[in-house]
Structure 1
Amino acid sequence: MSKIIRIGTRDSELALWQATTVQQKLEALGYDTILVPTKSLGDQVLDKPLYELGVTGIFTKTLDVALLKGDIDIAVHSMKDVPTKLPKGIVQVAVLERAMTYDILVHKGSNFLENDQPATIATGSLRRKAQWLNKYPNHKVVDLRGNVNTRLLKLIENDWQGAIFAQAGLERIKLLPKDAIQLDWMIPAPAQGAMLVVAKEEDDFTKEALDKLNHSETEISTTIEREFLRTLEGGCTAPIGALAQIKDHMVYFEGVVFSLDGKQKIEIKKEAKLSDAKNLGKASAQEVLQKGGDKLMQEIRNENSTVH
């Protein structure tokens, strides 16, 4: 094993935790590795909401370029940040076992949830914003950007009542407050809680090494969710949630798309035998489109184009 596997990663604490996890697993198998941290465009431009930047793969593009140029051998990503269509020459080589999929509310006191009073909640996600406004239409949702540490600090500094985070991210870097509220009613982003490793298509040595880290159940679940997203033509510019769970050789799928203001909601729940689940995400999305999702997605595209 003479080759040193160069692991590309964003330089945030959470991204470095993820890359280090992959590094430790590879080194336990006898491979030599080195971390190559970099800053993505999504980490540099923090004064605009993600959907206003209009860049697909804003957190992954810098690493894609490094990979194709040969500066790194693999890139480690939060899978929910990765576009459903990978750049030519780059392939998915491993999906690690998934962590918690839930979103959570970090707050300064949760009384405002019980007495229906006006409140301000922060999130940079259109999906979280739409679902929150659907449930709490009298609340205001403000944009929140930056890495996990930055966003927690901004919550402390501002007079917001709370902010929404992925549970997995805060748990991984040990910043999950004891009183955080698990939002079990909120459908997560497709592939939330999963880590994805990509490599160059022609790099057989690296592909063989990473194949040993792949968790097949997580790979199946996230593939179904990302197929749902791809078929709806979503991404970070549309409020789309999806979750596939495997239990007793069955797949239980839940998908949803909202209008940007959270007032319209089209959801679907389906189940299938694991052996028959290959096209479950695509079929579910097509059903959503037939139920009015096509019109809703067009409205979202129109609203986004006016922003750009």
Structure 2
Amino acid sequence: MNTPATPSPAPVVIATRESRLALWQAEHVKALLAARGHTVTLLGMTTQGDQILDRSLSKVGGKGLFVKELEVALEEGRAHIAVHSLKDVPMELPEGFALACVMEREDPRDAFVSPRYASLAALPQGAVVGTSSLRRQVLLQALRPDLKIEPLRGNLDTRLRKLDEGQYDAIVLAAAGLKRLGLGERIRAVFAPDEMLPAAGQGALGIEVRSDRQDLIAALAPLAHQPTWLTVAAERAVSRAMGGSCSMPLAAHGQWHGDTLHLDAAWGDPEGRSALVRAQAQAPVATLAQAEALGDAVAAQLRAGGAQGL
């Protein structure tokens, strides 16, 4: 008697931006799913965030501009999942969408990149540092008020090219992106979290699906890394409680000490009118609800210290 063949998993189409880093992220997930028997293809897309390069993200709608077109592809059934850098994902997903999986985190720290200078401390007074992030801007201003912080947009390769052309003395980028693309040698120094507190979700990949696709949620479950998921849930809860914008001058970073999650956050005024506000708390965390409660508590501390949400 012939044993019936196990049906092959349904094909999976991944919606992705077409930057080199986004494609690396999508290919990484594709390889992991393919190893589990799935047939996987990529649907490359250009998002509004990729097209608007002459204005800062905080002025044109925030980092959600990088995910909207991908969500439309999921909604229309042209793709089934979208792989995001969690740092770019709005705190509240649209109705009908869910974060199905958070994968193990790469290095969450910020990297100092410069062809001429070995560290932030080595920069001369008045040096020009490029960053696209209000968070990095306020943290850099707190560390070195004498520097000139200039906007820097574009994908990773574009930012490095602008640096190499001499438009900046140094730039600050996420260490994770450089490492994923094999560009770790460009990192001159990595900032300790207590110097430059990372953004919520920095270095972690999240996979978004339509919330009614329980089959996909089950298929993605083996790719999830629970300690990372709990950490970024706490970090993102700080941002959500402060108004939910990825473009806010806000940092939130969690670290495990045994079963206890230590969560630090910082908020700064981009105009430099007030000092950096810092907050921290810790608690045993085993569920997403506990992680989010810890994030809410840290956000309340920030507000009590004078931080302004949206």
Q: Which residue of 2 aligns with 1:304?
A: none
Which one of 153, 158, 163 corresponds to residue 166 of structure 2?
A: 158
Displacement after TM superposition at 1:277 (Å): 4.4
In structure 2, C-alpha distance between the alignment counterparts of 1:258 and 1:36, rounded to whole Å: 38
In structure 2, C-alpha distance between the alignment counterparts of 1:145 and 1:99, rounded to whole Å: 23
Structure 2 contact 109–174 (Cα < 8 Å) conserved: yes
| Residue 216 of structure 1 pairs with residue 226 of structure 2 | yes
Q: Which residue of 1 aligns with 2:184?
A: 176
Which one of 73, 85, 95 corresponds to residue 92 of structure 2?
A: 85
Query: 1:10-60 CA deviation, whole Å, 9 max, x = no partner?
Result: 111110110111111111111111111111111111111111112561110
In structure 1, C-alpha distance between the alignment counterparts of 2:72 and 2:140, rounded to whole Å: 36
Classify the secondary structure of the residue corresponding to 2:75.
helix
Moved more, 214-223 or 233-242: 233-242
Aligned residues: 296
Structure 1 contact 251–273 (Cα < 8 Å) conserved: yes
Classify the secondary structure of the residue corresponding to 1:221.
helix
Which one of 189, 195, 200 corresponds to residue 210 of structure 2?
A: 200
Q: Which residue of 2 aligns with 1:240?
A: 250
TM-score, reference length from structure 1: 0.92
Displacement after TM superposition at 1:236 (Å): 3.0
Query: 1:86-124 CA deviation, whole Å, 9 max, x = no partner?
Result: 011110101010000110110122277347522100011
Displacement after TM superposition at 1:165 (Å): 0.3
Displacement after TM superposition at 1:135 (Å): 1.1
In structure 2, C-alpha distance between the alignment counterparts of 1:214 and 1:55, rounded to whole Å: 27
Displacement after TM superposition at 1:177 (Å): 2.6
Query: 1:129-173 CA deviation, whole Å, 9 max, x = no partner?
Result: 111011111111111111101110011113421001000000000
- Letter in structure 2 aligned against 1:237: S
Q: Which residue of 2 aligns with 1:127?
A: 135
Displacement after TM superposition at 1:247 (Å): 2.4
Q: 1:106 to 1:31 in 2, by over 3 A?
A: same
In structure 2, C-alpha distance between the alignment counterparts of 1:103 and 1:152, rounded to whole Å: 15
Alignment of 1:1-308 (within 5 A): 1-55=8-62, 57-110=64-117, 113-114=121-122, 117-177=125-185, 180-184=188-192, 185-262=195-272, 263-275=274-286, 277-293=291-307, 296-297=308-309
In structure 1, C-alpha distance between the alignment counterparts of 2:246 and 2:284, rounded to whole Å: 30
Structure 1 contact 246–274 (Cα < 8 Å) conserved: no
Query: 1:173-213 CA deviation, whole Å, 9 max, x = no partner?
Result: 01123551111110011000000001111112211101111
Structure 2 contact 233–291 (Cα < 8 Å) conserved: no
Q: 1:289 to 1:173 in 2, by over 3 A?
A: same
Higher helix content, 1 or 2: 1
In structure 2, C-alpha distance between the alignment counterparts of 1:179 and 1:255, rounded to whole Å: 24
Structure 1 contact 255–268 (Cα < 8 Å) conserved: yes
In structure 2, C-alpha distance between the alignment counterparts of 1:232 and 1:277, rounded to whole Å: 16
In structure 1, C-alpha distance between the alignment counterparts of 2:61 and 2:81, rounded to whole Å: 26
In structure 2, C-alpha distance between the alignment counterparts of 1:179 and 1:86, rounded to whole Å: 33
Structure 2: gaps (5+ residues): 1-7
Displacement after TM superposition at 1:278 (Å): 4.7
- Letter in structure 2 aligned against 1:120: V
Query: 1:211-239 CA deviation, whole Å, 9 max, x = no partner?
Result: 11111010000000000000011423311
- Letter in structure 2 aligned against 1:29: R
Classify the secondary structure of the residue corresponding to 1:259.
coil
Identity between Structure 1 and Structure 2 (%) = 33
Q: 1:282 to 1:136 in 2, by over 3 A?
A: same
Structure 1 contact 106–177 (Cα < 8 Å) conserved: no
Runs of at least 4 residues off by over 3 Å: 275-278
- Letter in structure 1 aligned against 2:189: I
Q: 1:288 to 1:43 in 2, by over 3 A?
A: same
Structure 1 contact 125–236 (Cα < 8 Å) conserved: no
In structure 1, C-alpha distance between the alignment counterparts of 2:241 and 2:275, rounded to whole Å: 19
